[in-house]
Structure 1
Amino acid sequence: MSKGKQSEAVAGLSTSSTGTSLKPLPNPSTGSANPSASLPALWGYLQPALDHIVRSPTNNLSKAPAIEVSYHMGLHTAVYNYFTSQSDSPTDVPKALSAVPFSRPDKTKQSGTDLYEQLDRYYADTARELFLGVPHDDSSLVQYILPCFSRYSAGAQSVNRLLNYVNRHYVKRAVDEDKGWLRLADVFEAVAKTITEDDTREKIQKRMKERRTEELKRWGFYDGAPAEVLAQAEACAEAASPLDRVIPLSSLALRRFRTEVIDPLLAIPKAKGKKKKPPANGQNKLSGPKEPKGRLARAVKELIEGEDGDADERRRLAGELAILLRTVGVRVDHPLRKKLDKFVAQGLQDSP
């Protein structure tokens, strides 16, 4: 696939054929309805903005389309009012709304959980749509994924700013309650092994902090690193976390891109029939060297080892894919990340 066609290959997020830029989305009329009255009402007011920001075709894949200032302020107010009034909402859902796919209000849950979970479902659905548009030809797979991700992540960052109140009110409190990407139980076993009876609470907290730093170093953090590097490393660690962890909305979107797009492409299909014992030398007498089984692994092999196209362009694509995998939480010890990092590093050494 040529570079000029890459953006047009992005299903649902492609550039428009006319080349015109999108105008900011105006504030939709809600009449006398109160957008903060219930989750369905709030979502009905919010979803047009999400679709415009995350899904609309645009010429600039790295910048999300905008919404009008009045709509931005209206959403902020609606979300704020919904959060502050949730504690007084009834526990029963009207029968008319029983078929609507929203979480039922649950007073045992923290205020804002239902909206957070609805946003997670939205990103899962959006990422799944992108996966359904994946080309059948492995040779064009990387060229499809990169513009897809650029458009998707730009929209996610814009939504993160638009709904930052959710991060400040819900996510921060959940993290303080040990529901974040790194929980006490995750580090307790390692820390507990070094605790003695004489250790003070401050010493224990220091060791737990050291354990957290150790985990962040796996994502690019280093001692003395600037705040931007720390934030980037934590975002990668958040995206790599299990689905039950509460993380900021920007990382929530990245995690869903991993689970719904990247993980399926990394997966090795289950073999049908009886398994044959592989030769000791790892080669098949008829087909030669063993081929990668995952779709993305096959695409990377073709990208790296292929002779078609410009070598610098292939290395650029490999570098961008390596960054993508790290950003969405594919761990550094994954074989495909190792392969890409090695290929990119070798190119830097060979360049004059």
Structure 2
Amino acid sequence: MPAKSTDKASPPTANGVAKPDASLAVPPPLPNPSTGSANPSASLHSLWGYLQPALDHIVRSPTNNPSKAPAIDVSYHMGVHTAVYNYFTAHSEASPAPGLSGFPARFSAQSEKAKASGTDLYDQLDRYYADVAREIFLGAPTDDSTLIHYLVPCFNRYSAGAQSVSRLLNYVNRHYVKRAVDEDRGWLRLADVLDAVARTIREDDTREKVQKRLRERRTEELKKWGYREGDPPARVAQIESYAEAASPPDRVVPLTAVAYRRFRMEVMDPLLAVPKIKGKGGKKKKRPPPANGDKPPMPRGRLARAVKELLESKGGDEEEKRRLAGELAIALRTVGIKVDHPLRKKLDKYLPAEDS
């Protein structure tokens, strides 16, 4: 799990991490909003209108403690659970949701296959996390020397909020995500491993033998994320969460993985992207080989430049540098950046012993 931050002064932006201020240290629980006679579970429109204040408070509210998400009132928590349960129950057999008149198109444009039994709400949560992550990216400082000091507490704040929302909306995980995984719509699908498994299947193999080979293939995939034989179930689940966050957006994964996947796509991937060197006419420029025969220095993505500056800068608190590097390593791993990525290899040596 992401490490706890001990920053004394976190950047004040829309990312929900505030400047030191005693009045913001522990935001009070958000009370249950009055819905009058309206039924929050009547439609996606009304359900989202009831949910969004809770999500914004949990994920976006300013706080001095990036490792702990602000709470909502117990009655609001119960109200959300009841509304989601009733929505799923009432619409589980419903036909594809029609367009919602007067409502933004991103809420109402439903695929013909998007049933009100979960896909519409799941997709809306995915869009919500995409918006929040994009805000964090757009709020990043332009100075590479302060980028990591901004990014680490932002990620810890975002992660704490995502975990709190997952607990709040656990019914979505149990009702929709579990069913989608059972229907072969999860991070690893039968088609992904079928070719490799098919090459080892013999005509007289039983169903049990085929299933065993599929499980073995899944284990091979998890080994790419650090799985080792004999790992306890809790560690296996944690490793699988990295693979879930690394999956493409069409794969159905638990809500925490949805949030981490969006953080990777909207924040980490752009910061890791290596700029292309272009010559005249916009064509890719080839670097001339150096006279001494050494390989020419390759351009770095912005995050790689920031890491280099953090670790190689003279002066400053060396312990703080190592802490930031270790927490950034945890963030990269958590959002699904692969083990063999050069920056992960560089940063993993700074992981705390219990997270290695």
Normalising by structure 1, what TM-score? 0.90
Number of residue pairs matched?
341
Taking the aligned partners of 1:282 and 1:144, their CA distance within structure 2 comes to: 40
Unmatched segments (≥5 aa) in structure 2: 1-5
Of residues 125, 137, 141 in structure 2, which corresponds to 1:135?
A: 141
Q: Structure 1 residues 228, 28: CA separation in 2 closer, same or farther (over 3 Å shift)?
A: same
Q: Is residue 20–residue 64 contact of structure 2 (8 Å, CA) maintained in 1?
A: no
How big is the shift at 1:63? 0.8
Q: Is residue 66–residue 156 contact of structure 2 (8 Å, CA) maintained in 1?
A: yes
Of residues 60, 66, 86 in structure 1, which corresponds to 2:71?
A: 66
Q: Which residue of 1 aligns with 2:209?
A: 203
Q: Is residue 239–residue 255 contact of structure 1 (8 Å, CA) maintained in 2?
A: yes
How big is the shift at 1:192? 1.2
How big is the shift at 1:307? 2.2
Confirm whether residue 18 of structure 1 aligns to residue 21 of structure 2: yes
Taking the aligned partners of 1:282 and 1:265, their CA distance within structure 2 comes to: 32
How big is the shift at 1:107? 6.3
State which drifts further: 55-64 or 99-108: 99-108
Normalising by structure 2, what TM-score? 0.89
How big is the shift at 1:239? 0.2
Taking the aligned partners of 2:199 and 2:193, their CA distance within structure 1 comes to: 10
Q: Which residue of 1 aligns with 2:343?
A: 336
Q: Structure 1 residues 88, 181: CA separation in 2 closer, same or farther (over 3 Å shift)?
A: closer
Q: Which residue of 2 aligns with 1:327?
A: 334
Q: Which residue of 2 aligns with 1:317?
A: 324
Q: Structure 1 residues 120, 284: CA separation in 2 closer, same or farther (over 3 Å shift)?
A: farther
Deviations 1:54-105 (A, max 9, x none): 00011211110000111011111110111111134685335333x4531345
Identity of aligned residues (%): 67
Confirm whether residue 280 of structure 1 aligns to residue 285 of structure 2: no
Q: 1:219-234 maps to which residues of 2 (within 5 A)?
A: 219-234=225-240
**Superposition RMSD in Å:** 2.4
Counterpart code for 1:83: F
Q: Structure 1 residues 306, 16: CA separation in 2 closer, same or farther (over 3 Å shift)?
A: closer
Counterpart code for 1:211: R
Confirm whether residue 4 of structure 1 aligns to residue 8 of structure 2: yes
Q: Is residue 40–residue 46 contact of structure 2 (8 Å, CA) maintained in 1?
A: yes
Of residues 290, 306, 328 in structure 1, which corresponds to 2:297?
A: 290
Q: Is residue 129–residue 259 contact of structure 2 (8 Å, CA) maintained in 1?
A: yes
How big is the shift at 1:195? 1.3
Q: Which residue of 2 aligns with 1:149?
A: 155
Q: Structure 1 residues 283, 293: CA separation in 2 closer, same or farther (over 3 Å shift)?
A: farther
Confirm whether residue 85 of structure 1 aligns to residue 94 of structure 2: no
SS at match of 1:96: coil
Q: Is residue 135–residue 141 contact of structure 1 (8 Å, CA) maintained in 2?
A: yes
Unmatched segments (≥5 aa) in structure 1: none
Taking the aligned partners of 1:96 and 1:295, their CA distance within structure 2 comes to: 41
State which drifts further: 222-231 or 150-159: 222-231
